[in-house]
Structures are given as C-alpha cells and as structure tokens.
C-alpha cells in the first residue's frame, strides 16, 4: 500500500461520517471532507448566528526549523518574520521569481528557530528548495495533526465551556495542556473564530469534547460548502477554488493586486523572492478582485460579466448567502470598472428549474459582504 494514498481521510472522519446523513462528500487538498451535513445554507447561517465546527485538517502545515529558519522565511514570504515574537503570527504571500502568487499562508512563530507555515494549498517543492538553500529543515505536520475551526458568535463561549478559555487575540496562538491533551489554540482564520489543533490520535476526543461543550449553544458541524459561503461573504479568494496559483517559477500571473492580496505584502520588506518583479508590475494590472452582488438567488460561478454588452471580466466562486438572501460572488473585472456601485450584467446559468438563459443584473459591492458576527 502506498504511503500516500490518493484518497485520504482526516482524523475526524469517523465523526464526520456519523454526522453526514446524506453521505455528501467532497475533496480538498487531497482529503475527503463532508460537503455538507444536511443543509449547507443552514450551516453557514449558524456560522453567523450560533456556532459551527468545521474540519480544517486538510490545510497544509509545515514546520520550518533551524537557526536559518527566520532568514529562509523572510526571503520566501512577503513579510519579514524576524520581528515576530514567539506565539505571534502573520499572513503573507509567497511569490514566483516573476512576481506571481504561488501561495498565501499564515506564518506562526513557535520558537526562535521554529515556524509553522499553514496554507490552503500545498507547494512543497518550492518551500523545500527555499529551505535547502538556507539550510533550514522542513517537517510536514499535515498528516500528524488535525484541526477544527470554531466559527460563530458563540465560539468563545464554547471554548470556555469546554475549559479551553484562553485570552487569544487575532493572529496569535497558544499551546495548552488540556485535560490530558496537548492542543494549540489559534486565531488565524478570517471569521474571527478559533482553531484548535491536536495530534491525529487525539482528534476524536477533541471533536467529542467540543460537541458536548457546545451543545448548549446549538453547535453543529459544518461542511466545506458552508465554510466556502462564509469565505465568500468575507471576500477571501482561495487557491484552486478562485484562482490557480503559479506553478512555474517565472510566472507573472496571477499578481497579488489582481487577487486583492496586496495587503499581504510589506513594501518595506524588500528582500522577498519576486520583490523586483512585483514592484515592476505594480500598478500595471488590468484587472482587480471585486465583490459582486447578483440580483438573483442562483449563484453564478465563473460566468462572464458584461458592461453595456461587452465582457469586462468574470465571476469566481459564487454562492447564495443565507444572511443576505441573494447570490454573491468574487469576481475579476477590468480595473476601470471596479468602482462599487457599477451595475453589470451576467447571463443566468441554466438550471433544472429554468431552461432559459436570461440576463441578470449584478452590482459591484465592497468587501466584506458580511462582517463576522460579534458575540452578544
């Protein structure tokens, strides 16, 4: 049997399978995950009104260690990690030599010579080459650990009820010994929630404890569809879902600006890989990432967007937002027409209900569509 099976289950699979009543599954980053546990819209709504738990073990996590680890990551990533204190994290990109986005990650400093890079997509060869050049060592923790995200206004309350109450501010994390388990509680997500990480063998215990503690708050598991809805509501483009990260080392597209990710670049940090190419291309991008509200309930992913009959871009992931009660989408359109309020049109997709194609109005909006709900 291969050590890298094509289909991999996360350490929470046994619990996910028991809860996945309709047996709906999907794959992300090589892992099998519940697409939804019955009703994706209800799960997404719960993420805004109560609390949900989502399996995020599929995210690629690699430790970069050694005396030269900080130098290596600072060269690799678009922000300088040298000033990062242990227990703190930052979000940054890594770029190809040509300036294209190869990936986006959270970089967390565990010790002076130990960093964790957590990303929604794997780029093992590239990171390994950077580490090799600097003499840093790599340790892939993706299969050794599992993680759950707690999202919703009652996420903190669930943590406290579970005895994991920790005063953690966004972009920080803490390692906690929790009733016999070593866990790491982080706040790396965009939803103002928490992530709890533990060894793969302890994952079922973690799931059970959180579900028991969260029962009084109406906790429910959420599948990938629900977390995608929450992502789009916040306006976060994801690799392999909304864009194809550069795989060629000299690629120039997609640029950080065209994906709305320039905030993840520290211009003062001039030493990162691809800096010169990024600087040279800066401002010359023709397209930009925008939020689009669609005058319809039907999402329209990867559909051309028109202005006065001329195609000026296309949608990326589109979802029905249960809180806005309409379809929304991330979109890449010509920069000239990216001002909020610009009215566009798109062709509604064919569906089983409607066999005819018709034009639907869409409006450029501002990010985020929805702000994460604060606890009452």
Partner 1 sequence: MSEPRSCDAIVIGAGPSGLVAASYLGRAGKKVLLLEAEDKLGGVCAAPHPSGGNSPLMLYALDPFVVRDLKLSKRGLHFAGRELALTGLREDGKHIVISRDVHDTAASIALHSRRDADTWPRFRKELFELARAMRPLWWEARGAWPGGIEGQELHAIARMGAGSWLNSWFESELLKATLCFDSVAGGLSVLEPGSAFSLIWRAAQEISGLQGAVLLAQGGSAALGEALINSAQEAGCEFRTVTRIERIILEGDLVAGVRTQSGETCFAPLVFSAVRSFQTFSQLLPPDALGIASSEAPRRNSPVAEAGIVLTLRSAPRVTGDAMSPAKRCIIAEKPETYAVAEMAARAGALPDELPIEFVTMAGAASAAPGEHVMRILARPVPRNPVGGWPALAPVLAARVVKSIERFSPGISGDIVRIVTMNPDREERESAVSVPHMLATAEGRVRTPIKGLFFCGAGAEPVPALSGRAARIAVASALAVHS
Distance CA 145, CA 123 (A): 19
Q: Which is nearer to partner 1, 130 or 365 (CB)?
A: 130
**Cis peptide upstream of residue 254 (ω within 30 degrees of 0):** yes
Reported as type and span, the H/E element at residue 181 is strand 181-186
Q: How far is the CB of 249 from partner 1 (least distance, A)?
A: 2
DSSP state of 99: S
- Upper half-sphere CA count for residue 263 (Cβ side, 13 Å): 5
Q: Which is nearer to partner 1, 94 or 194 (CB)?
A: 94
Do the strands 60-65 and 287-294 form a parallel or antiparallel pair, or are they unpaired?
unpaired
Q: Rounding to the nearest 10 degrees, give the CA dihedral for residues 236, 242, 248, 252.
A: -70
Q: How far is the CB of 188 from partner 1 (least distance, A)?
A: 24
Q: Which is nearer to partner 1, 100 or 157 (CB)?
A: 100
CB 149 within 8 A of CB 194: yes
Q: How far is the CB of 130 from partner 1 (least distance, A)?
A: 5
- DSSP assignments along 231-259, one per residue: HHHHT---BTTTB----STT---S-TGGG
Distance CA 61, CA 40 (A): 26
Q: Which is nearer to partner 1, 97 or 293 (CB)?
A: 97
**Residue 191: left (phi > 0), alpha (psi -120 to 50), or beta?**
alpha
- Rg from Cα positions in the chain: 21
Crossing angle (nearest 10°) for helices 124-134 and 69-76:
130
Count Cβ atoms below 10 Å from residue 181 Cβ, excluding itself.
Answer: 17
What residue has token string 């009215």?
A: 343
Distance CA 266, CA 315 (A): 28
Q: Which is nearer to partner 1, 76 or 185 (CB)?
A: 76
Q: Which is nearer to partner 1, 97 or 295 (CB)?
A: 97
Q: How far is the CB of 339 from partner 1 (least distance, A)?
A: 35
Q: Which is nearer to partner 1, 73 or 183 (CB)?
A: 73
Q: Which is nearer to partner 1, 76 or 264 (CB)?
A: 76
Least Cα distance to 314 among 292, 296, 326, 332 occurs for 332
Q: How far is the CB of 122 from partner 1 (least distance, A)?
A: 16
Q: Which is nearer to partner 1, 72 or 198 (CB)?
A: 72
Q: How far is the CB of 275 from partner 1 (least distance, A)?
A: 9
- Beta sheet of 114-119, edge-to-edge order: 89-95, 101-111, 114-119, 60-65, 137-140
Distance CA 199, CA 182 (A): 8
Q: How far is the CB of 252 from partner 1 (least distance, A)?
A: 12
Q: How far is the CB of 273 from partner 1 (least distance, A)?
A: 5
Q: How far is the CB of 271 from partner 1 (least distance, A)?
A: 6
Chain residues binding partner 1 by CB under 8 A are 71, 75-76, 96-98, 126, 129-130, 133-134, 248-250, 271, 273-274
């Amino acid at each position: 049997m291969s050590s890298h099976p094509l289909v991999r289950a996360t350490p929470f699979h046994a619990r996910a399978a028991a809860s996945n009543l309709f047996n709906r599954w999907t794959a992300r980053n090589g892992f099998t995950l519940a697409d939804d546990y019955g009703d994706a819209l209800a799960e997404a709504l719960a993420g805004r009104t109560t609390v949900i738990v989502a399996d995020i073990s599929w995210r690629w996590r690699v430790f970069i260690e050694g005396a030269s680890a900080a130098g290596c990551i600072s060269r690799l990533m678009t922000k300088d990690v040298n000033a990062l204190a242990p227990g703190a994290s930052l979000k940054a990109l890594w770029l190809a030599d040509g300036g294209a986005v190869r990936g986006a990650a959270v970089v967390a400093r565990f010790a002076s010579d130990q960093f964790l890079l957590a990303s929604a997509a794997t780029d093992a060869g590239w990171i390994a080459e950077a580490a090799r050049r600097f003499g840093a060592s790599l340790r892939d923790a993706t299969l050794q650990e599992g993680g759950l995200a707690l999202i919703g206004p009652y996420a903190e309350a669930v943590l406290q009820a579970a005895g994991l109450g920790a005063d953690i501010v966004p972009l920080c994390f803490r390692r906690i010994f929790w009733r016999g388990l070593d866990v790491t509680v982080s706040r790396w997500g965009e939803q103002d929630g928490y992530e709890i990480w533990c060894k793969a063998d302890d994952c079922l215990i973690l799931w059970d404890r959180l579900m028991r503690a969260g029962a009084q708050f109406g906790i429910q598991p959420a599948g990938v569809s629900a977390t995608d809805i929450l992502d789009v509501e916040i306006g976060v483009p994801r690799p392999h879902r909304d864009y194809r990260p550069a795989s060629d080392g000299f690629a120039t597209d997609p640029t950080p600006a065209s994906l709305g990710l320039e905030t993840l670049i520290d211009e003062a940090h001039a030493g990162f890989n691809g800096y010169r190419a990024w600087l040279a291309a800066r401002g010359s991008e023709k397209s930009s990432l925008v939020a689009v509200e669609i005058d319809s309930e039907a999402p329209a992913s990867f559909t051309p967007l028109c202005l006065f009959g001329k195609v000026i871009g296309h949608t990326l992931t589109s979802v029905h937002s249960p809180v806005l009660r309409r379809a929304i989408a991330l979109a890449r359109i010509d920069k000239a027409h990216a001002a909020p309020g610009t009215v566009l049109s798109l062709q509604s997709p064919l569906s089983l209900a409607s066999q005819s194609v018709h034009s639907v109005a869409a409006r450029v909006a501002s990010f985020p569509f929805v702000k994460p709900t604060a606890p009452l």
